[in-house]
Amino acid sequence: MSNYYLITSESYSTTLVGDYPIWNNDESKVIISASIDYSYPYSQSFDGYDDVQNWIWDFSKKEYLNWCDDDDPDDDPYGIDGPFS
């Protein structure tokens, strides 16, 4: 069974524990999916993915407030790594 934890980015970069990170926009915090015996400090836990969604989703605007995910470190949104054709 997995659970979700709100932790600091520093903690995440140190422990490298957890999957599917969701970052806040200044990348100071991250929500990870980890096992229920996750043993590192965290500021908040969530019982499941729906709880994470409910916490970061603004129902009135139907958008995520200040959170994002980007799985692709090679992502090149401005096209600087070309080549182009």
With contacts defined by CB under 8 A, name the span among 8-16, 34-42, 66-74 that binds another protein: 66-74
Nearer to another protein, 37 or 74 (CB): 74
Query: Residue 43: which region, alpha, beta or left (left: phi > 0; alpha: psi -120 to 50)?
Result: alpha
Q: Determine the Cα–Cα distance for residues 55 and 64; give it in Å rounded to an integer.
A: 9
Residues 2-41, interacting with another protein (CB under 8 A): 19-20, 22, 33
Evaluate whether 22 touches 55 at the Cβ level (below 8 Å). Answer: no
Rounded least distance, CB 21 to another protein, Å: 9
Query: Listing from the earlier edge strand, what are the strands of the sheet with 19-24?
Result: 44-46, 2-8, 29-35, 19-24, 67-68
Rounded least distance, CB 26 to another protein, Å: 16
Instruction: Say whether residue 72 binds another protein (CB under 8 A).
Output: yes
Q: What are phi and psi of 72, to 5 degrees?
A: -110, 100
Write out the residues near another protein by the rule CB under 8 A: 19-20, 22, 33, 48-50, 52-53, 56, 61-64, 67-72, 74, 76-77, 79, 81-85
